[in-house]
Structures are given as C-alpha cells and as structure tokens.
Amino acid sequence: MSTRGAFGYWRDGIRWEGVYIRSDAYPGYALPELAYAMVFREEEALPERMVEARAEAWQFLEEGGVCPFCGREGVGMPVDIRGDIYALRYRFAREPILADAYREEIARLERAAEEGDQGAAGILEDLRHTGWPDPGERYHGHWDPRVGHLNADPLFLEWAYLVTRGYLSVLRGCVASRPGGRPATERIIALRLPGGEPLAVVDHGHCVAAFTEVARLGPVALAQLAWIARMKRRAEGKGQEEAREAVDRLADTLTYCAAFVAGLVAAAWASGKRRVVREPETGGKELPDVVRLETLNRYGLELAAFREDLPGLPAPPRDAVRLAERRLGSG
C-alpha cells in the first residue's frame, strides 16, 4: 500500500526530524517492522542513523543506505528509475524465484544492444564492470528523504513514528475542511495543548491539516511487537499477523479519534478567535494559537492512548524489553 509516513525523533516542543517512509507506513505493517529493527538489528536501526545516511527508512533497513542502482551512500533515496534498471537490480536480482526473469531481462537488453540501443549496451557494460546497473546515475536520480516539523505535510504523510523520552509516539496526520473559503495560504503553525504535547498544524487555506499524537508505546509494547516480528521471521505463518491485527485495531480507533480532533482544530480556526503565545523554541517569535485549546486539550488527552503494553500480544522476554528500553533512551 502507498501509505506514506515518517520515522524520526521528537526532539522537544514542536521540533521533530526523521526520514520518509515511502510505503506501508500504516501501523499494522510499520510498527512491527520498525520495532523489530530498533530492538534486534545488529546495527542500531534508529532514525538518527537514517538521517545521517540520508536514507529513507525501508531503504536503510533493506540496503543499509547504499543506493541499489549506483552503489553510492548518503545520496538520498533513488527516484525516477528507468524500468529495466529497476527490474535488474531491485526485482529480479534479489529474488531467487525470479532468476529466469532476470536472465530474460539480460537477454532482452543484449538484443536491444545488438540493435544499436546505446542505453541497453551501457547498462550491460556497467553491470559487468561495476556490479551496479547505473553507477553513472544516467537513468535514476536521488531525493533527500529527510522530513521534520518544518516540511512534513499531514496531507501527504499520514503517519509519523517518533522516538521521544522513553516512548515511541505514534502521530496521525489528519485533515479537516475549513469553512469560510479564505484564500489559500500555506503555513505551519505550532498549536500548544496546555499540559499536553504540541501539534504542528498546516493551514492550507481551504483545509487544515495536523499531526495529532494518538498513541505512545512504552518499552514493553515495543518489545512485544519486536518479539512477535522476530518469531514471524523464524517461523513463517502466525506471528506478525497477530501483531498487525492488534496494532490495526488500536490504530482504527485512534484514527477515528484523530479525525475528530482535526474537526475541532478546523472549528477553532473557523471561529476566527485566536490569541498569540510566545514559544521559547522560536527564540521569542510570536506564533498564533487557537483560543479553544481547552476543548481540544480535553479531547486530545482523553483520546491519546499511553500504552505500556499491547493487550492480546504475548509477553516479551526480559532481554528484549531491556533492549527496547535502551533504544528508546529510557534504560
């Protein structure tokens, strides 16, 4: 599924940074995968490493930040890839079951090269000499996958998973139409919930989009997800499906609630009543705030689920919990 999201760190206040998740960012898939990587992968699969490598989350976990088409590191995620390059390196070469398809693709390129296709000849030569189908980056480019509070648009990124003070926070991007038909002015605004976590709101003019924190998973919950994903890897079949179902059940409820909060955000905007607060993290610059924060806060705090563990999943071993605590910075 083409559900996009982000994996990162929630630094303080409204500031967060991380990397893009290009697909399958919905909790049922992303949470067990990210939990497994954080807890059990040899290299620490933490967002900081991904930001350093300028690698999109799944690319980092699959390729360690090395571009599978040109072999370069730290250049960003590969984009605009010619079909035969993609097929050679990504689809066919890595799946033994597709070995025949790989040979057919090579044969097709050889025929094309014989007929004078310089591109096909070049790809074959590159493969022979370097092992990469496009080391010169003639048939693909790169894109910086780093996202954060300054450029993450909840219209586009639906989920964000952020490491914060001993938890993994789950944020849901949600959108509400904004009555009034004001001219479109896109801006990102910090909306502080008293006593709760702040929200980043994007005002698109015709609609308002926001990330709301819908769940926090503690070390035990993270270890549960990691553990069940590991069992799945060891023995195919039952395992991760259970995790996906449990997390999706949680996410369904929370997504509904997040949409409700987005409605309240839009209602507050439409009311036109605002006040200005000073945010220490902006160096004293004034940021607009919504006047009905008390309402938002009441619902927001009631809706956010702070989970030490996930009911319905087996208890993880103690050492997995200790690893999870360490990765979340609470151990």
Residues that bind Zn ion (CB under 5 A): 67, 69-70, 78
- Which residue lies nearer to Zn ion by CB, 132 or 211? 132
8 A C-beta contact, residue 212 and residue 220: no
Q: At what angle do helices 318-327 and 219-234 cross, to 10 degrees?
A: 120
C-alpha 80/C-alpha 252 separation (Å) is: 34
Task: Quote the least distance from Cβ 19 to Zn ion, whole Å.
Answer: 16
8 A C-beta contact, residue 306 and residue 220: no
- Which residue lies nearer to Zn ion by CB, 133 or 173? 133
8 A C-beta contact, residue 157 and residue 147: yes
- Which residue lies nearer to Zn ion by CB, 17 or 134? 134
Rounded alpha-carbon distances, angstroms, from residue 96 to 32, 91, 92, 128, 311: 26, 10, 8, 20, 38
Task: Quote the least distance from Cβ 68 to Zn ion, whole Å.
Answer: 8
Task: Quote the least distance from Cβ 130 to Zn ion, whole Å.
Answer: 12
C-alpha 18/C-alpha 160 separation (Å) is: 9
- Which residue lies nearer to Zn ion by CB, 55 or 243? 55
- Which residue lies nearer to Zn ion by CB, 70 or 200? 70
Task: Quote the least distance from Cβ 66 to Zn ion, whole Å.
Answer: 9
The residue nearest Zn ion at its CB is 67
Task: Quote the least distance from Cβ 1 to Zn ion, whole Å.
Answer: 25
Task: Quote the least distance from Cβ 89 to Zn ion, whole Å.
Answer: 10
C-alpha 59/C-alpha 96 separation (Å) is: 20
CB atoms within 10 A of CB 283: 7
Within 13 Å and on the Cβ side, how many CA atoms surround 74? 4
Handedness of CA 157, 35, 17, 282 (dihedral sign): positive
- Which residue lies nearer to Zn ion by CB, 141 or 288? 141
Question: Per residue in 75-114, is it b (16+ CB within 10 Å) or e — as a string?
Answer: bbbbeebbebbbbbbbebbeeeeeeeebeebbeebeebbe
- Which residue lies nearer to Zn ion by CB, 135 or 263? 135
8 A C-beta contact, residue 184 and residue 32: no
Task: Quote the least distance from Cβ 139 to Zn ion, whole Å.
Answer: 10
- Which residue lies nearer to Zn ion by CB, 137 or 279? 137
Task: Quote the least distance from Cβ 128 to Zn ion, whole Å.
Answer: 18
- Exposed, middle or buried by CB within 10 Å (0-12, 13-18, 19+), for 174? buried
